[in-house]
Amino acid sequence: MAEEPTFEDLFRQAKHSAVHLEMRDGYMRSDLEFVSWSRDPHSVPALRDPASRPWLSLMREITGRGVVVRRARIFSEPMSDYLRFEHHLTPSNAAAGEQVRWLPRRRASDLALPGNDFWLFDDTLTVFLHFTGEGELSPDGDEERTTDPAVTRLCSAAFESVWERAVPHEEYQPV
């Protein structure tokens, strides 16, 4: 039996696109960078060299070969401290090739959305991400993969509806 590709492998296997919908107001609050930033926002630089963070190197690699990576975030206003931290770091993601948009939750009320955050690769594979109530990855399994066409259509339509309404990172300032 073939081994399932790692999450990183899924990006390297992507041919055209990888889109990510985030719908929580906080993630991984135990992250040491977040803890440091919470104490002193100047302790974590907004723009970093991709060589310093594997995620940024991966994004530069795959966008460099033409894969479009888009991330949309639905969030409550005023923005949580964790999302302020993410907003602070987003210039590094953009510099590595990711396109990022922000959609205040009040503007998403009439959108049909899946129950969990997800990544959608090439409109064929959906990876749902599971978190605890505290925003940590679920110890019961942090992801669920499916190629079910009905699920990928739902996720694609949800992402596109959010993307259409969302504000590009460069234009959104937290309130």
Residue 94 has what pLDDT? 95
What pLDDT is stored for residue 42 in this prediction?
A: 85
Fill in the amino acid letter for 90.
Answer: T
The token duo for 19 is: 């889109």
Which of 3, 14, 9 is closest to 98 using CA atoms?
A: 14
Record: fold of 9-171: Endonuclease; Chain A (3.30.870)
Average pLDDT over residues 114-137: 93
Q: What are the structural domain ranges in the chain?
A: 9-171
pLDDT digits (tens, 9 = 90+) for 34-59: 889 889 888 887 777 777 789 999 99
Q: What is the 3-state secondary structure (H, E, C) of 60-102?
A: HHHHHCCCEEEEEEEECCCCCHHHHHHHHHHHHHHHCCCEEEE
Q: Which helix (H) or strand (E) holds 11?
A: helix 7-13
pLDDT of residue 22: 97
**pLDDT tens digits, 79-115:** 999 999 999 999 999 999 999 999 999 999 999 999 9
Identify the pLDDT of residue 78. 95
Return the pLDDT at 1: 62
Cα gap 83→172, rounded to integer Å: 12
Cβ distance 107 to 75 under 8 Å? no
The reported pLDDT for the residue numbered 133 is 85
Lowest model confidence (mean pLDDT) among 78-82, 141-145, 165-169, 170-174: 141-145
Inform me whether the pLDDT recorded for 17 exceeds 80: yes
Is the N-terminal amide bond of 78 cis, ω within 30° of 0? yes
Q: How confident is the model at residue 138 (pLDDT cuts 50, 70, 90)?
A: confident
